[in-house]
């Protein structure tokens, strides 16, 4: 029987080409795992909707292959997308009871590109309501569980995607990252994940949290799978002006940079300021520093670095989230105005309905209280982001660095219902620079830890190459025990 738990996309594709397995077999196998483990068994609660047409679409991909088509890497591959991606056949609810059952008019651009590449979208994943948090809880589906510790959160806001891919509910998944929402779930679920350079992938058809920070990207059980998905979704979209900057900055394939010796001669700067000095930060910090030492043994030059003025560049009176808090009200209102079939018309309407989880109420009300985005304070903090980027790039140039390394989050996943602290999301999110996360090990009680590496704009190929070399040499990822093979 085909190994759904450990197979990479290239292995699945090769098996389909030889006839050892079909796309229908893959889809049926993953749907069986969702049925067995998402609402019963360990009850991960990672899935928000399952596609009723997934098996039919898989059969259509098989027919295309038999007819001589389907040469692409994603052809017939089962994929899960986060519940803030618009899909034509499944509800888009962003985890909120206020949007229960609403089906968007069509696919978002990234979903459209995946389907065009032959992927089969089999399900949508639970998420932190409105993507406004990092633990994955919402009024419509409740809390998702971490498959490595069922009493703990899977990260967020793309925590459902993270838990689902870690539990092998699909080959690969899509998340969105506004401030850590791909990278934190990747770290908490022993996955690879990438937040691309702002503008590399389209935001069209993703329910917004912050137009200045939102971006979509993949999470997978291997760096190879992440690179394959990025190949399919990167590039200019006329519906998203921000993606015009990607023109000329997308390589032939992100797979080309994946080499076993990818760390040899690389220069990695370890950013000590993001490790934290609280005793509770030490466990994760020690694992990430150990990952840095492993990179040194693999041929990289690793040194401690300091970014002058970093604390001020990342700080504002809203704990670094001032721009995001302002953006949400106006971006979500504009989104609802452009979707006349949506059951709510504004953020105020969501609050009036009372259909939201208590854990997101404070965030929703903080944004609703904003009277204008066109203020001196808002634009001053937008301008500060350019200075942050310049400071990062200046240090990288001075030290001739390929990447800056640090923990994506300084603490392991906490118990469901507790406040999760320790995020380092703003370095990438506020600068717009890309960052990749790859598994770095496990805590003593079996919870995953990741290491994040940030690079220059459009350096995704280099970052994925570094992550691949580390992943292949260390093999830190292991499957969660609570979701075993279905015999």
User: Would strands 172-176 and 78-82 be described as parallel, antiparallel, or unpaired?
Assistant: parallel
- Dig out the tokens for 324 from the structure: 């995001």
Q: How far apart (Å, rounded) are the C-alpha atoms in residues 336 and 342?
A: 7
Residues with Cβ within 8 Å of residue 126, at least 6 apart in sequence = 45, 46, 47, 48, 83, 95, 136, 138, 141, 144, 159, 160, 163
> Has 384 been annotated as catalytic?
no
Q: Is 133 left (phi over 0), alpha (psi -120 to 50) or beta?
A: left
| List 48, 51, 82, 459, catalytic entry | 82
> Has 176 been annotated as catalytic?
no
Residue linked to tokens 């040899």: 264
| List 181, 210, 367, 423, catalytic entry | 181
Q: What's CA 271's distance to the chain center, in Å?
A: 22
Q: What's CA 378's distance to the chain center, in Å?
A: 27
> Has 157 been annotated as catalytic?
yes
DSSP, res 107: -
Phi/psi for 310 (5° steps) reads -60, -45
Q: What secondary structure does DSSP assign to 236-287, as a single string?
A: -BTTBGGGGGGTT---S-GGGG--TTTTTT-EEEEEGGGT-SSGGGHHHHHH
* Cis, peptide link before residue 157, omega less than 30° from 0: yes
- Dig out the tokens for 290 from the structure: 């150990």
| List 51, 139, 157, 211, catalytic entry | 157
Q: What secondary structure does DSSP assign to 422-455, as a single string?
A: -B-THHHHHHT--EEEEEEEE-TTS-EEEEEEE-
Task: Confirm if 188 and 181 have CB atoms less than 8 A apart.
Answer: no
Residues involved in catalysis: 82, 157, 181
């Amino acid at each position: 029987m085909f190994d759904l738990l450990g197979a990479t996309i290239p292995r699945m594709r090769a098996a389909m080409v030889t006839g050892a397995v079909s796309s229908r077999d893959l889809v049926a196998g993953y749907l069986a795992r969702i049925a067995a483990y998402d609402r019963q068994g360990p009850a991960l609660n990672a899935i928000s909707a399952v596609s009723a047409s997934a098996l039919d679409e898989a059969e259509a991909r098989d027919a295309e292959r038999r007819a001589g088509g389907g040469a692409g890497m994603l052809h017939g591959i089962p994929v899960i997308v986060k519940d803030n991606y618009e899909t034509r056949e499944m509800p888009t609810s962003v985890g909120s009871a206020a949007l229960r059952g609403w089906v968007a008019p069509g696919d978002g651009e990234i979903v459209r590109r995946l389907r065009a590449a032959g992927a089969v979208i089999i399900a949508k994943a639970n998420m932190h309501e409105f993507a406004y948090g990092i633990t994955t809880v919402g009024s419509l589906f409740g809390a998702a569980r971490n498959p490595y510790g069922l009493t703990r959160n899977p990260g967020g806001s793309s925590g459902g995607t993270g838990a689902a891919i870690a539990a092998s509910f699909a080959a690969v998944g899509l998340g969105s990252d506004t401030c850590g929402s791909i990278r934190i779930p990747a770290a908490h679920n022993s996955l690879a994940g990438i937040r691309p350079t702002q503008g590399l992938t389209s935001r069209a058809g993703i329910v917004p949290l912050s137009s200045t920070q939102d971006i979509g990207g993949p999470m997978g059980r291997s760096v190879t799978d992440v690179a394959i998905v990025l190949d399919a979704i990167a590039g200019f979209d006329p519906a998203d002006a921000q993606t015009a900057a990607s023109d000329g900055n997308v390589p032939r394939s992100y797979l080309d940079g994946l080499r076993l010796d990818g760390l040899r001669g690389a220069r990695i700067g370890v950013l000590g300021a993001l490790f934290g000095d609280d005793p509770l930060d030490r466990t994760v910090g020690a694992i990430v520093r150990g990952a840095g030492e492993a990179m040194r043994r693999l041929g990289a030059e690793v040194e401690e670095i300091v970014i002058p003025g970093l604390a001020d560049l990342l700080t504002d009176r809203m704990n670094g989230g001032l721009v995001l808090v302002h953006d949400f009200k106006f971006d979500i209102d504009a989104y609802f105005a452009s979707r006349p079939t949506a059951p709510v018309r504004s953020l105020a309407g969501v609050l009036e309905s009372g259909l939201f989880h208590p854990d997101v109420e404070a965030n929703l009300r903080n944004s609703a209280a904003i009277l204008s985005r066109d203020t001196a304070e808002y634009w001053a903090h937008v301008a500060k982001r350019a200075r942050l980027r310049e400071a990062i790039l200046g240090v990288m140039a001075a030290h001739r660095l390929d990447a800056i390394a640090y923990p994506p989050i300084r603490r392991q996943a906490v118990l469901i219902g507790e406040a999760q602290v320790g995020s380092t999301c703003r370095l990438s999110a506020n600068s717009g620079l890309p960052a990749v996360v790859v598994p770095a090990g496990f805590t003593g009680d079996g919870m995953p830890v990741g290491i994040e590496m940030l690079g220059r704009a459009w350096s995704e190929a280099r970052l994925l190459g570094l992550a691949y070399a580390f992943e292949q040499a260390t093999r830190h990822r292991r499957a969660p025990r609570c979701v075993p093979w279905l015999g």
